[in-house]
């Protein structure tokens, strides 16, 4: 809570906050369970607004996950100090901490995973059917929450199958494996995988007859199937809400067919496992880059290894190895589950998700033409880093106890070091991160002319604008058109339904995005609506919209919308001095800011400073050659 973002942050947070505030549907797969829980939470928090409430929801989920981890470790190790140290260190890992302080789904995924493993551990230890069914239920909840929780399913399978005595309960394991196949099949919208899971469940029934456990086993199988269906039924929230057409209705899953497309992420072209999108060595090295950020990023808040930070990474890697060995000595069954989780959440994801090179990785080493992710994807590996932190905390206490039992508090303090060493980098209350996204949201909409059609180019100019309109009610007269989304049928249908900027005939026609952009701009002009484009929109998209060569705040408009514009020079827009002056007064001052591992805040600071630079050029207190590249037409 001390480092919690006080409001809006960049990337997906604006979209999720808007979805929670309007009880709407964010991008595929829709995450209906997350939106429903966060909506209920935000209604129960009577202060601070939706953004603060949903940020706090992430913090509460992460803290609860830490509590479950501590309870889990306390039982298997018999040591409260070791359990507390493991939870503190796991929670202090940078990627875990980063997800805990903004509105994102991964904190709730972490809590679900820990509840799943807790139920699975008790299922294997006690042999009670209720814990096996609870494990299956938690596993199936991954589908309406976020499919990344299924990364922990193999670890849960280990815990359920292996009894405390070492005996293997194959029937229980087969039943949970069948549930996993059905859940994965539905989550991937794959009829084949779902059918395989159903066949596997039928085989469990046959196997129960062979082992003479027919009656009780079949009752449990039916009950487990019931738990699975109850969990999956949360997906129907998408259908119900879509039929109300909420403010945010991405994918519009009002029918079962549309629901299937949303669940299966049909909007996104998922890469297969082959060919690799980056050299295998680069994908592995990229994971090590992210690992180097986990323990002491506050000492050197940059992407490259550092003599200040990396030694701590190596130290905690050694503590993790030592803690893993100690875990194996104390409780081999749960150690095997943690090892499976660590492998699945690191090497498994590298192989299966087939990432491009990270946004910060490989420049100057990989070819210039090599594709890169639009942002660093360290958050996908959060479960692996969580296990590493737990082992490192256990290792710190175990090592301290080898010296003397009196050294136990020293071990706990050592395990808590990431909470100190990461604090400067993880603090979302610091400037400029506390203010940058909200400034983008407000300045972008306030820059637009009255009743404008505003074109945006990506997540970080679209989502803040959505937040400002949906949550703060700012500039409802402006229609925001997100250029990349025009490639999807549901978005074209939404524009046709709500704005008439797209004709009914164009909804079903797969035209080039540039053609659709030009058509929408023309339709806006025919309705006497000004056309504007975000400075952050790529020139290739902006050029088809017409002559948008006048800067009005941080958007570009046509000369007709600003007849008194002052020409600034080559490659610089003309400037509407009155509107730019208003935006320049609210722009961020010059100065050096800690950009950290995410370059987005620094990039958007450059855009927010454009009005001040335009004004300086118009007053001839700055030469055109000093204009930032972000503020130019090309």
Q: Which tens digits make up the pLDDT trace of 574-590? A: 888 776 666 655 556 56
Find out whether the peptide bond into 29 is cis, omega within 30 degrees of 0. Answer: yes
Distance (Å, whole) CA 149 – CA 165 = 28
pLDDT reported for residue 214: 65
- 427 compared with 572, residue with greater pLDDT: 427
Same domain, 360 and 458: no
Collapse the DSSP code of 551 into the 3-class scheme (helix H, G, I; strand E, B; otherwise coil) and give the result: strand
Distance (Å, whole) CA 624 – CA 569 = 7
Confidence bin at 613 (pLDDT 50/70/90): confident
Same domain, 405 and 467: no
Same domain, 51 and 135: yes
Distance (Å, whole) CA 209 – CA 201 = 13
Residue that the structure tokens 């504007």 belong to: 532
Confidence bin at 598 (pLDDT 50/70/90): confident
pLDDT reported for residue 445: 93
| Alpha helical stretches, state H, 141-190 | 142-145, 153-161, 170-187
The answer to which of 29-43, 483-497, 554-568 has the lowest mean pLDDT is: 554-568
pLDDT reported for residue 483: 93
- Answer for the pair 259, 185: CB distance below 8 angstroms, yes or no: no
DSSP 480: E
Number of folded domains that form the chain: 2
Question: In terms of DSSP bridges, do strands 550-552 and 531-534 run parallel, antiparallel, or are they unpaired?
Answer: unpaired
The answer to which of 97-106, 278-287, 581-590 has the lowest mean pLDDT is: 581-590
Q: At a CB cut-off of 8 Å and minimum separation 6, what does 572 contact?
A: 614, 617, 624, 627, 631, 632, 633
CA-nearest of 55, 72, 59, 65 to 12 is 55
* Residue 24 CA from chain centroid, whole number: 17
Q: How many residues does the chain have?
A: 634
* Residue 262 CA from chain centroid, whole number: 17
Same domain, 32 and 118: yes
Q: Note whether residue 529 is domain-resident.
A: yes
- Answer for the pair 69, 21: CB distance below 8 angstroms, yes or no: no
Residue 265 has pLDDT above 80, yes or no: yes
Same domain, 184 and 307: yes
Same domain, 58 and 181: yes
Distance (Å, whole) CA 258 – CA 251 = 7
Same domain, 449 and 559: yes
538 — phi, psi (to 5°)?
-60, 145
- 17 compared with 550, residue with greater pLDDT: 17
Q: Note whether residue 7 is domain-resident.
A: no
Q: At a CB cut-off of 8 Å and minimum separation 6, what does 463 contact?
A: 10, 11, 12, 13, 14, 15, 18
- Which of 365, 389, 421 is the C-terminal boundary of a domain? 421
Same domain, 42 and 185: yes
Residue 591 has pLDDT above 80, yes or no: no
Same domain, 335 and 437: no
Residue 227 has pLDDT above 60, yes or no: yes
Q: Note whether residue 234 is domain-resident.
A: yes
The DSSP H or E segment spanning 532 is strand 531-534
- Which of 358, 388, 421 is the C-terminal boundary of a domain? 421
Q: At a CB cut-off of 8 Å and minimum separation 6, what does 144 contact?
A: 31, 32, 33, 231, 232, 234, 235, 237
- 607 compared with 344, residue with greater pLDDT: 344
Same domain, 66 and 141: yes
- 137 compared with 538, residue with greater pLDDT: 137
List the domain range (segments joined by +) for residue 526.
433-631
Each residue of 352-384: pLDDT tens digit?
999 999 998 988 899 988 999 988 999 999 999
Q: Note whether residue 190 is domain-resident.
A: yes
pLDDT reported for residue 594: 65
pLDDT average, residue stretch 326-344? 97
Q: Note whether residue 395 is domain-resident.
A: yes
Q: State pTM to two decimals.
A: 0.94
pLDDT reported for residue 623: 83
Distance (Å, whole) CA 614 – CA 634 = 15
- Which of 421, 442, 464 is the C-terminal boundary of a domain? 421
Same domain, 60 and 207: yes
Same domain, 455 and 331: no
């Amino acid at each position: 809570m001390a480092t919690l973002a006080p409001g809006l942050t960049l990337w997906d947070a604006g979209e999720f906050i808007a979805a929670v505030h309007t009880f709407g549907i964010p991008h595929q797969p829709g995450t209906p369970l997350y939106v429903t829980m966060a909506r209920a939470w935000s209604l129960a928090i009577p202060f601070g607004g939706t953004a603060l409430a949903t940020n706090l929801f992430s913090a509460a989920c992460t803290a609860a996950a830490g509590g479950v981890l501590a309870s889990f470790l306390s039982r298997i190790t018999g040591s409260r100090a070791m359990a507390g140290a493991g939870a503190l260190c796991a929670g202090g890992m940078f990627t875990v901490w980063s997800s805990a302080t903004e509105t994102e789904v991964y904190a709730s995924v972490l809590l679900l995973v820990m509840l799943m493993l807790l139920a699975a551990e008790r299922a294997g230890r006690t042999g009670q059917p209720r814990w096996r069914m609870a494990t299956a239920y938690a596993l199936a909840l991954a589908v309406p929450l976020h499919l990344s929780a299924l990364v922990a399913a193999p670890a849960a399978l280990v815990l359920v199958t292996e009894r405390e005595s070492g005996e293997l309960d194959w029937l229980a394991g087969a039943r949970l494996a069948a549930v996993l196949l059905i859940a994965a099949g539905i989550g991937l919208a794959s009829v084949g995988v779902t059918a395989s899971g159903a066949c596997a469940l039928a085989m469990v029934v046959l196997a129960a007859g062979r082992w003479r456990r027919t009656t009780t086993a079949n009752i449990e199988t039916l009950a487990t199937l019931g738990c699975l269906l109850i969990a999956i039924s949360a997906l129907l929230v998408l259908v119900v809400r879509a039929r109300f057409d909420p403010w945010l209705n991405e994918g519009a899953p009002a029918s079962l067919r549309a629901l299937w497309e949303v669940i299966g992420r049909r909007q996104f072209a998922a890469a297969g496992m082959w060919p690799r999108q980056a050299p295998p060595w680069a994908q592995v090295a990229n994971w090590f880059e992210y690992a180097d950020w986990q323990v002491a990023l506050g000492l050197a808040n940059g992407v490259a290894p550092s003599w200040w930070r990396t030694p701590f990474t190596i130290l905690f890697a050694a503590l993790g190895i030592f803690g893993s060995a100690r875990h194996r000595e104390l409780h081999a069954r749960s150690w095997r589950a943690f090892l499976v989780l660590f492998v699945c959440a690191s090497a498994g994801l590298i192989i299966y998700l087939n990432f491009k090179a990270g946004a910060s990785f490989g420049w100057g080493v990989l070819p210039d033409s090599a594709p890169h992710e639009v942002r660093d994807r360290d958050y996908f590996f959060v479960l692996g880093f969580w296990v590493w932190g737990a082992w490192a905390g256990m290792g710190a206490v175990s090592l301290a106890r080898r010296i003397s039992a009196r050294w136990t508090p020293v071990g706990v303090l050592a395990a808590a070091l990431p909470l100190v060493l990461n604090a400067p980098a993880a603090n979302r209350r610091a400037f400029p991160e506390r203010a940058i996204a909200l400034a983008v949201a407000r300045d972008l909409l306030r820059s637009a002319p009255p009743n404008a059609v505003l074109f945006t180019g990506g997540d970080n100019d679209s989502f803040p604008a959505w937040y400002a309109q949906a949550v703060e009610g700012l500039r409802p007269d402006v229609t925001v058109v997100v250029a990349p989304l025009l490639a999807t049928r549901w978005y074209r249908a939404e524009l046709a339904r709500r704005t008439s900027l797209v004709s009914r005939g164009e909804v079903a026609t797969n035209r080039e995005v540039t053609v659709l952009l030009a058509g929408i701009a023309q339709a806006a002009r025919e309705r006497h609506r000004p056309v504007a484009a975000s400075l952050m929109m790529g020139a290739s998209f902006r050029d088809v919209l017409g002559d948008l060569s006048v800067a009005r705040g941080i958007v570009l408009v046509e000369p007709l919308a600003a007849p008194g514009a002052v020409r600034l020079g080559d490659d610089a827009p003309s400037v509407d001095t009155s509107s730019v002056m208003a935006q320049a007064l609210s722009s961020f001052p010059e100065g050096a800011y800690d950009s950290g591992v995410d370059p987005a805040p620094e990039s958007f600071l450059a855009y927010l400073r454009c009005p001040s630079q335009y004004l300086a050029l118009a007053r001839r207190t700055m030469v055109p050659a000093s204009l930032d590249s972000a503020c130019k037409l090309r």
